[in-house]
Amino acid sequence: MIRVEMATINHDTVRRIVMANRHDYKIILTTAIIILIFIVLVLISVLDSKPPFKPQANKGILNLSQNDFKEYGNLKLDGEWEFYWNKLISYQDPLSQTPDLYADIPDTWNEYSLHGERLSGEGYATYRLHVVTDLAPETTLGLRIYTLSSAYNIFINEKKVASRGKVSANPAEETGEYGPQAIFFSIPDSEFDMIVHVSNHQYARGGFWYGMFLGYPEQIMSLHEALITKEFFLIGALLMISLFFFAVYFLRKELRYTLIFAFLCLWVSLLVDMVGQFVLLKLFPSLSFNTVILFWYSSTEWVLFFLIWYVHELYPSKFSRLVLKVSLIYACISQLLFVLTPPLYYTRSGQITNYLDIVLVLCSIIIVGIGIKKNQSGGWLNILSMMVVLVTYIHDIGYWTNIIRTPFGEIFYFGLFLFLFIQLVIQAQRIKLFHEQKTAAELQFLQAQIKPHFLYNALNTVISISRYDIEQSRILLADFSKYLRRSFDFEDLSQFVPLRHEIELAQAYTAIEKARFEERLEVVFNIPDNLEIRVPVLILQPLIENAVIHGILPKSEGGKIQVSITEKENGYVFTVKDNGVGMNPIILSLKKDSELKKSVGLHNIDKRLKNIFGSGLEITSTPEVGTQISWFVPKATIL
């Protein structure tokens, strides 16, 4: 019994699954090759270049006397800076002051210990670095500053050269502000002090989160503009993709996953900005510090929710429904927490939320894995895209916090771009499949137009002829079987078949009808030599049938149908012409669309041709003279 059930597996289904998986593997292999080429090119560029001179600050001193900015580019001011806790010292203060500790930069001061205790996120401090160069006094240099939490002032000796927000030891007087900037200053001498005042009373973690870059003005400006341009491009791409898929959803509401993907792109664009260059602040400079933090944390949770929803829509299961409900509850509770409490409170849970976010990402991968187990297409591509984003994001976190030291710099933008590319491939595949299924449904409807009375009449004709002409009845049975086989044989999901198939179907149909109506019906075929060109399926025979039923049979004496296929320079012109009853051209021009819609078969054929080629049926008719239906098949489309 088991063997019988296994033997009855639909071979066409198996073929489609295998072909879909093979297609997935090809795309995965192509994407993997692209990633490998990218890594190889980066490694080659690193190996071929002269090893950069990258001095580190040591015990509050950075010696750049041997550094050539023109040759080695911008320098990241990492290393050990003097750190003074709960003090805002100035350049005029005695240099004999002993720092509380030498702080590793970049890092939050929550990671520092003083007198055996970890520092609180709230507070204020001074960072100082003595820089030694061989540059002439008044040489202009530049700084590229990402952001410090939550407000800062930067001094070169006693001169303030940069600031964000209002630094204060008093929490009530502090004003927090985020946002990267590039600033330029003239050094007072070959040696100078860089003093940074930082206060934080509004966020759970304070201090020097990210490193600063020092270099010549043109180099710093180039870096600053490159980072801004890169983010503008990525956010612009995300917004355009989001708008596109919103439009797709409003045109095809059956494709609900396109709406979810549009919202996912929208939230990702906000998240990219909140962990990047704060473009939103340039567009809306009046946004408060608390609002910026709210957007930052909210975007993370809603990105995860829409990611879960998106993969659930693609690969639904009991597990995915459970995870979707949990993620929605988690996102709503988090959002309420962000709205009802100040950042100083809810940002303390950052470590916990990070772990929960990782769990949700892993759940999304499990959901896709379940889909793969069910042989659903696109699963491996989805997992690949998620892994790319996850790995590049972890790399950048490690890069900016000095856990990972690589020559690649930020690669998250590349990972996110690759993620979008893969998702667009998946979406294109699904939209293509949707239209193929819709076309297949239309073809099935056309197949259903084979009316029972036609089958009954055809068999009756065969039976009648068999009484006096056995050989002719055998020929008719062969034509009838060919007609049925060609009517239901559509293996190609593109719905294109060789012209030979369409001709065989049409000739089989006309042979049966000629046997029924004898001298009342005459059909002449004028076809080209090349019968292997691929044309849309089920176009020719239904139009011949339409000419027989509505054009020829209403005339008592019958008539003639001419079927011609003429090759032109840029395509083929198909024509079905009859000398039947015809219709008034004025009425036809006024009622063409309505008449087509009444004839469901003609309407579907016209619509299919317009979707494929951009032009549909051309109908001309004259009463008592006949009707001609033509359509054009471009060579560029079918070859």
- Residues 6 or more apart whose Cβ sits within 8 Å of residue 122: 171, 200, 201, 206, 344
* 353 phi and psi angles, rounded to 5 deg: -65, -35
Q: What pLDDT is stored for residue 162 in this prediction?
A: 95
Taken in order 257, 259, 261, 267, is the CA torsion positive or negative? negative
Per domain, the residue ranges of the chain are 61-215, 233-427, 449-638
Buried b (16+ CB within 10 A) or exposed e, 508-544: bbbbbbbbbeeeebebeeebeeeeebbbbbbbbbbbb
Domains 61-215 and 449-638 alike in fold:
no
Gap between the Cα atoms of 444 and 488, Å rounded = 8
Residue 569 host element (H or E): none
Structure tokens at 166: 């209002």
Q: Read off the amino acid at residue 115.
A: H
- Residues 6 or more apart whose Cβ sits within 8 Å of residue 119: 85, 109, 110, 112, 113
Structure tokens at 570: 């840029």
* CATH number of this structure's domain 61-215: 2.60.120.260
Which listed CATH number (3.30.565.10, 3.30.460.80, 3.40.50.720, 3.40.50.300) goes with 449-638?
A: 3.30.565.10
Q: What pLDDT is stored for residue 379 in this prediction?
A: 76
Q: What pLDDT is stored for residue 29 in this prediction?
A: 52
Q: What pLDDT is stored for residue 639 in this prediction?
A: 56
Which residues of the chain register pLDDT less than 70? 1-53, 94-96, 396-410, 435-457, 484-495, 584-601, 637-639
Residue 20 host element (H or E): helix 11-48
Structure tokens at 51: 């090893």
Q: What pLDDT is stored for residue 431 in this prediction?
A: 78
Gap between the Cα atoms of 507 and 114, Å rounded = 94
Q: Three-state SS for 261?
A: helix
Structure tokens at 115: 């007198």
Q: What pLDDT is stored for residue 67 in this prediction?
A: 75
Q: What pLDDT is stored for residue 89 in this prediction?
A: 92
* 284 phi and psi angles, rounded to 5 deg: -130, 75
Q: What pLDDT is stored for residue 12 in this prediction?
A: 45
DSSP per residue, 440-452: HHHHHHHHHTS-H
Gap between the Cα atoms of 559 and 519, Å rounded = 9
Reported pTM: 0.66
- Residues 6 or more apart whose Cβ sits within 8 Å of residue 381: 24, 27, 28, 31, 422, 425, 426
Q: What pLDDT is stored for residue 636 in this prediction?
A: 72
Gap between the Cα atoms of 335 and 297, Å rounded = 9
Gap between the Cα atoms of 366 and 275, Å rounded = 27
DSSP 627: E
DSSP 173: G
Gap between the Cα atoms of 292 and 287, Å rounded = 7
